[in-house]
């Protein structure tokens, strides 16, 4: 008997029929002797419907009232799911964030969980009930309803799993797991059975938006085994083992260290949301980088990759990337300080993408970077910028080369499906 | 400076524009130096939308989960209204039933209020904030959300007014007050400026569905002045006094005793939802009434008027009325016990209505009943049953005579509008 937390997103809860399907899956786990806590999001579309009402009243709705309002989406979901589970003859009880004392700080719209009343939940589980908890919400010390920000239901799931010492936190979603790269870019993309928290963080932040980053961080910190799997794989009724064998998804877990079997590269992430800005011919003296970047940061624009060229006759070129929606704003800011920073020219372009190799195996394998550059060179893909971390190498290339780059790297690093052409790559 | 509770129903909160109008009215009272607590219902249609979702899952949804779900309708309303009030530059704070500790018993779907945290609300008012409270809901001792039943928002309003010692509880609705009778039946119906709690209870229970009966009982018990008025009378902006003079509605208050000015009759109520059942030729011995009525009551059918004829040769006829939807069920029950009660015949009809004269003045004026019967006789209306109380006389007549009966009684008892034909009636 295990204690399992299952989280279902808005799509999985998107209609009465889907809610009934969720109830059926919960019943199968319960019938199999497991204790089940279910965390749910609002029915898809509901949160947007509410936000639309609020913005008809106020361009910037009061954050406290906004939380009081949007939290109702999940409250409806938990009630409906509990009704559906009870309809199948199993005890179920729904709880809002407040009702199981998911205490947060008082930062409305982006609150952080501080504690949870695990005893109240455990008592319900011990009574044989399925416990259904509203995701995304909590209460602050004064009893105000807070929300964790979009996608916060994943965090609620992980927090509950950590607080109750659950054996696993299962995130049901509309994909069947984490892939080596986006299957829309290469059909040879392969589902991973396992990935480490660190790799998942790099994959997620680089654009494989399967899981909320905070939830992965939280799971890593409390070492909660996290499984991403499909809520649409139904399995044959009555064959629980068979169903689970067919729908194991991807387990995100701790790095088990020097595992000889560990692949060097786990996946290839990419991000189209990049724009590159070049500040040409600035005097190469100390403080120039901060002179350029501080006004950008002050405007709440996130900076990603940064590159400073070698100095030539006392002048240097300074390049960096920002998210595409911030491109125009960043250029405007730089133009306004062009005189102050004594720049010769400011230009940029938005037809770039970032491609990243991610893998904990990189730590113990030399040569990943040079092999990556060689593969790209063989494909006539020019590298504009490079950045590296312990488990990641990222390059900025022209957007038109994205597919070719991902496909060739995917094959070269042995990530292709078993039924594809190239399975193992020698480093 | 007064402390005012204002309650707005689903229609008054039915759209974003209407919510903005409510906010404007609240602002006018606030600007005039009053402390304002606002109680709101769910936006019209919302509760039915939620119930529809629930019944797609379960024919008889779990009562706890049902309350957890439907209570979100009011939660959305309080948030939106608070946003709208803040948008006008006034401090506002919304509270669910749970957040201001509207403690109830644990009878889901029909809970009764036991206590309220008045201090928390008073502190907000003293800070200059408008307090917006979700109607219709509370929490039980274990923190489960409960609801007071349909129309319970009126009760929430009165309970808050009682707990905080408010000067007045204003129920804003889609009519501009309580009328002497239904204006759809006679155009001479006149709005009452004032009515006693007792009269209002008789008017309400007899079909003038302006206010929830429990709210009136509650207001009477705690002597909370209750005012029914229109939420659609806008008044000119800037002229608060003028607006209020034009929209005073009807004040429901305590009976001030032997007021010489007090009218004998305050209004004429009627109820179309009546069906008459006659059990003919039963042996006239003790216990026969209970032998007939107990099986009916046991089936949860409410009995209204009851009449037992004089005995003739040891046999008697026994008549009573039930609500029309219960008619068939009641007949079926009686047929099944016809043998036991030794009845000769059981029959009934559903083309009857009850017409009632209501007025506290009746206590000190003789002759109301005989005048009523005389007016009906002059109009060739046959009386099938009669029942009386201290402040009410009801008759059961054929439905086809309803309009004629109400019109002639309305005129005869001096209830017609000043601009109508007959203003004062001599008793």
Complex confidence, ipTM: 0.81
* Cα–Cα distance measured from residue A176 to residue B162, given in angstroms and rounded to the nearest whole number: 57
Q: Any chain A CB within 8 A of the CB of B87?
A: yes
How many percent of chain B have pLDDT more than 90? 70
Distance CA B333, CA B402 (A): 30
Tens digits of pLDDT across chain B (427 residues):
899 999 999 999 999 999 999 999 999 999 999 999 999 999 999 999 999 999 999 999 999 999 999 999 999 999 999 999 999 999 999 999 999 999 999 999 999 999 999 999 999 999 999 999 999 999 999 999 999 976 799 999 999 999 999 999 999 988 888 999 988 899 999 999 999 999 998 887 665 567 888 888 889 999 999 999 988 765 545 456 666 666 789 999 987 765 555 678 999 999 998 999 999 999 988 888 888 999 999 998 999 999 888 777 888 899 999 999 999 999 999 999 999 999 999 999 999 999 999 998 887 777 888 899 999 999 999 999 998 888 999 999 999 999 999 999 999 999 998 765 433 333 3
Task: Find the CB nearest A58 among B68, B87, B144.
Answer: B87
How far away is chain B from the Cα of A226, in angstroms, using its nearest Cα?
29
Q: Could you report the per-residue pLDDT of B78-90, keeping only the tens digit for each?
A: 999 999 999 999 9
| A86 with B65: Cβ contact below 8 A | yes
CB contact, 8 Å: B210 with chain A? no
User: A144 pairs with which residues across the strands?
Assistant: none
Q: Is A80 on the interface with B (CB under 8 A)?
A: yes
Specify which residues B321 forms β-bridges with: B276
Q: Which of residues 155-174 of A touch B (CB under 8 A)?
A: none
Residue A267: CB partners within 8 Å, gap ≥ 6? A178, A179, A180, A181, A192, A195, A199, A203, A208, A358, A359, A415
- Of the candidates B57, B86, B99, the beta carbon closest to that of A143 is on B99
Cα→Cα distances A295→A301, A335, A337, B181, B401, Å:
9, 11, 9, 72, 84
- B57 to A20: CB separation less than 8 angstroms, yes or no: yes
Residue with structure tokens 């208050």? B253
Structure token pair of residue B130: 């408008």
A68 contacts A145 by C-beta, under 8 angstroms:
yes
Among candidates B271, B171, B267, which has minimal Cα distance to B219?
Answer: B171
Which two structure tokens, joined as six digits, stand for A223?
A: 């070492």
**DSSP class per residue in B30-89:** HHTT-EEEEEE-PPTTHHHHHHHHHHHH-SS--HHHHHHHHHHHHHHHHHHHHHHHHHTT
Q: Look-up: residue for tokens 């003045």?
A: B361
SS3 content of chain B, % helix, strand, coil (to 5): 40, 25, 35
Q: Calculate the alpha carbon distances from B280 to B45, B180, B318, B379 in Å.
A: 46, 37, 6, 29
Could you give phi then psi for residue B79, rounded to 5 degrees?
-65, -45
Q: Which domains are assigned to chain A?
A: 3-175+210-253 (3.40.1160.10), 267-412 (3.30.2130.10)
- Kindly report the backbone phi and psi dihedral angles of residue A355, in degrees, each rounded to the nearest multiple of 5, phi listed first: -120, 130
Neighbour tally for B276: CB within 10 Å: 22
What number of C-beta contacts closer than 8 Å exist between A and B? Answer: 98
Distance from CA of A116 to the nearest CA of B (A): 16
Strand partners, B134: B40
> What is the pLDDT tens value at each position of chain A, 427 positions in all?
899 999 999 999 999 999 999 999 999 999 999 999 999 999 999 999 999 999 999 999 999 999 999 999 999 999 999 999 999 999 999 999 999 999 999 999 999 999 999 999 999 999 999 999 999 999 999 999 999 976 799 999 999 999 999 999 999 988 888 899 988 899 999 999 999 999 998 887 665 567 888 888 889 999 999 999 988 765 545 556 666 666 789 999 987 665 555 678 999 999 998 999 999 999 988 888 888 999 999 998 999 999 888 777 889 899 999 999 999 999 999 999 999 999 999 999 999 999 999 998 887 777 898 999 999 999 999 999 999 888 999 999 999 999 999 999 999 999 998 765 433 333 3
Structure tokens at A354: 């970032």
Residue A19 distance to chain B (closest CA, Å): 9
| Chain B residue whose CA is closest to A68 | B79
CA distance B173 to B170: 9
- Asked if A333 and A299 touch (Cβ cutoff 8 Å), the reply is yes
Report the alpha-carbon distance of residue B269 to residue B274 in Å, rounded. 13
Helix (H) or strand (E) holding A283: strand A267-283
Residue B72 with chain A: CB contacts under 8 Å: 72, 75-76
User: Do residues B352 and B321 make contact, with C-beta atoms less than 8 angstroms apart?
Assistant: yes
């Amino acid at each position: 008997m295990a204690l399992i937390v299952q989280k279902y997103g808005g799509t999985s809860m998107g209609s009465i029929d889907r809610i009934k399907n969720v109830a059926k899956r919960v019943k199968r786990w319960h019938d199999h002797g497991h204790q089940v806590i279910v965390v749910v999001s609002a029915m898809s579309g509901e949160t947007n419907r509410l936000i639309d009402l609020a913005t008809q009243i106020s361009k910037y709705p009061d954050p406290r009232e906004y939380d009081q309002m949007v939290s109702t989406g999940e409250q409806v979901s938990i009630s409906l799911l509990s009704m559906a589970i009870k309809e199948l003859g199993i005890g179920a009880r729904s709880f809002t964030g407040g009702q199981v004392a998911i205490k947060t700080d008082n930062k409305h719209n982006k609150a952080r969980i501080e504690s949870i009343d695990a005893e109240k939940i455990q008592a319900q589980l011990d009574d044989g009930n399925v416990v259904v908890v509203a995701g995304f919400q909590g209460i602050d010390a004064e009893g105000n309803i807070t929300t964790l920000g979009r996608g916060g239901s994943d965090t609620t799931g992980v927090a509950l799993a950590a607080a109750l010492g659950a054996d696993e936190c299962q995130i049901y979603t509309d994909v069947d797991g984490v892939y080596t790269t986006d299957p829309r870019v290469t059909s040879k993309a392969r589902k991973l059975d396992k990935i480490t928290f660190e790799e998942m963080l790099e994959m997620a932040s680089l654009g494989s938006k399967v899981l909320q980053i905070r939830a992965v961080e939280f799971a890593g910190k409390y070492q909660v085994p996290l499984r991403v799997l499909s809520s649409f794989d139904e399995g044959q009724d009555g064959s629980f083992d068979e169903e689970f064998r067919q729908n194991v998804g991807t387990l995100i877990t701790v790095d088990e260290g020097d595992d000889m079997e560990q692949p060097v590269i786990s996946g290839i992430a990419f991000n189209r949301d990049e724009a590159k800005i070049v500040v040409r011919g600035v005097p190469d003296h100390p403080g120039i980088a901060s002179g350029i970047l501080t006004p950008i940061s002050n405007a709440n624009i996130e900076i990603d990759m940064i590159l400073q060229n070698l100095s030539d006759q006392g002048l240097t070129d300074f390049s960096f990337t920002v998210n595409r929606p911030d491109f125009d704003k960043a250029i405007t800011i730089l133009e306004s300080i062009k005189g102050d920073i004594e720049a010769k020219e400011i230009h940029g372009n938005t037809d770039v993408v970032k491609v990243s190799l991610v893998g904990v195996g990189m730590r113990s394998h030399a040569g990943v970077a040079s092999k990556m550059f060689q593969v790209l060179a063989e494909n006539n893909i020019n590298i504009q910028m490079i950045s590296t971390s312990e488990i990641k190498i990222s390059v900025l290339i022209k957007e038109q080369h994205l597919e070719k780059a991902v496909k060739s790297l995917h094959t070269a690093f042995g990530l292709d499906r078993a039924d594809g052409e190239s399975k193992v790559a020698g480093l």
